[in-house]
Amino acid sequence: MSADEDGGPSPEEKPPRTGRRGRVFGISGLASGLLTGLLTDGWSQSFSATGWVRIVGVAVAVILLLIWAIYNAPAALQAYRRRRYGVHAPIAAPELHAAAEEAEQWMIALGSDAGGMAAAEWYSMNEPQLREVLLTEKPRDETADDLARICDALEVWYLRRSEPGALLELSEFLSAVADACGRRDLAELAAARAATAYRLMGDLEAASTRLGVSDNVATHTRTAAALTTRRQVERALLHLARAELAPAGNDRDEAVLNARDRLDDARLSRPGPDLAAEVAIYINRAIVQLYQQDPEGALDQLRPAVARATAAGDISGQAHALELTGVAAWMQRSPHEAKRWWQHAEHLYAEVDEREGRARCLQHLGSAEVAAGRLRSARELLEQSALLRTSESEILARYLEAAREIASPPVIAEDAGHRVAVSRLTRSLERIRNHFAR
C-alpha cells in the first residue's frame, strides 16, 4: 500500500540537531583555527618573548589544544576501534535513496491527471531496473525503508497490470528484508501482500492463511492502522471471490454481506481523511450493491465516487466509477445509456494508459453489440479488447466466437449474467492498496 505513504522523514531528511553540540563545535573550530595560527610566526614570536607574554602564550596554546583534543577524542576512539576490530562504517546508498524517491513520485502520478500517461511510460521503461536494484542491494537497517518504498511502487504497477506472480516475488523479497533487519512492520506488510498475490492466483485458502500470518505479527507502529485497514479490504475481496464461485443462494448472499461488513470496517478504521481512499471505498460498496442486484443502490455510491475522483484529479478512479455506472445502467435495461458510460470510461482509461480498464470497457461494448446483432462492430471491439488484455478471459473468448459466427452468443441466466458482469470488475478493488500499503 509502500512507498511509505504515512511515513516520516528518512534519516537523511531529519533536520540537524542544534544546541550545545553546535556551540561546542564552534569552540572546537575556533580552537583549531587558533592553533593553526599559533604555529605561524606569531607562535614563534610568543615563545621567543620573555616574562608574562611567554607564560600567557603557552597557557592559551595549552587550553586550546585541550579543547581540540577533548572534542575530537570520540571520533578518534571510534576510528581506532574500527581499525582494531575490522568494523567498517556502513556505506551510504544515495543511488538507492534517489531511486526510491523517483519511483514513489511516479507511483503517486499513476492514474492521475498530473502525468498519468508519463507515469505509465516511466514504469514500462524502468521496472526492470527497479527489480535489478532489489536483487543486487543487500538489506541493511539504513536501506530497509528505501527498499520497501521501491516494493510499494512496484506493487501498484503489478496490480495495475494484473501480475500476481511478480507481486508474490515482491512479498518474498520484503519478507527477507524484514528478517534481515528485524522489521516486524515490514513482515506484516509482506504477509498481507502475499495474500493479495495468492487471491489473484485463485488460491483463496493460501490467501486467507497469509492474512492470518499478517494479523499475528501484531505490530504497534505508526503504520499499524493502515495495515489493519488493508487486511479488512483484502478480506472483503476474499468474500467477493467466494461469492463469485458460489451458486445463487444463501452461501453467495452471506459472502456478499460479509464483504460489505469488512468494507464498513475498513472505512471506519482508515487512518485519516483521504479523497482517493474515499473514492475506492465508494466504488467497493457499489460493487457490493451490484452483487446484491441493486443497481439504484450502486448508483447512490457511484455518484459521490465520481465527484470525489474529479476533485482529486484521479482519472483512473473516475473512469472506474463511470464503468460501473454503465454496468448499473445495463442492469436497469438502458443499453444506450450503458454504452455511453462505457465509451466515456474507455476514453478516460486511455488518457492514463490503463490498458486493463480499456480492455474491460471494450469487452462490455463488444458484448452489447453481439446482443444487438451487430457482429462486425462487435468483432472490432472484442479484438481490440483481446489485444489489450494481459490475461485470458473465458467470457471474452466466447463472445469473440459469437461475433465471428463460430458459435452462438453465451447463454447466461439472468442472475448469473449480472454476477459475471460484476465479477469482471472486482479487480479494481485493488485501488485501495495505493492508500493503505504501509
292 contacts 248 by C-beta, under 8 angstroms:
no
Planar angle of CA 30, 32, 33, nearest 5 degrees: 65
The pTM assigned to this predicted structure is 0.69
Confidence tier at 69 by pLDDT (50, 70, 90): low
Instruction: Answer yes or no: are the C-beta atoms of 185 and 208 closer than 8 Å.
Output: no
Q: How far apart are CA 328 and CA 302, in angstroms?
A: 10
Interacting residues of 66 by C-beta distance below 8 A, sequence separation 6+: none
The CA distance from 152 to 2, in Å, is: 3
One-character DSSP codes across 331-350: HTT-HHHHHHHHHHHHHHHH
Q: Name, of 101-110, 246-255, 317-326, the range with top average pLDDT.
A: 317-326
The counts of H helices and E strands in the chain are 19, 0
At 210-232, the pLDDT tens digits run 999 998 875 666 567 778 888 88
Q: From CA 318, how far away is CA 301, in angstroms rounded?
A: 13
**Cβ neighbours for 418, distance < 8 A, ≥ 6 positions apart:** 290, 293, 331
Give the closest residue to 362 by CA, choosing from 394, 330, 396: 396
Q: State yes or no: pLDDT of 416 exceeds 50.
A: no
In one-letter notation, the amino acid at residue 73 is A
Contact (CB, 8 A) for 111 and 315: yes
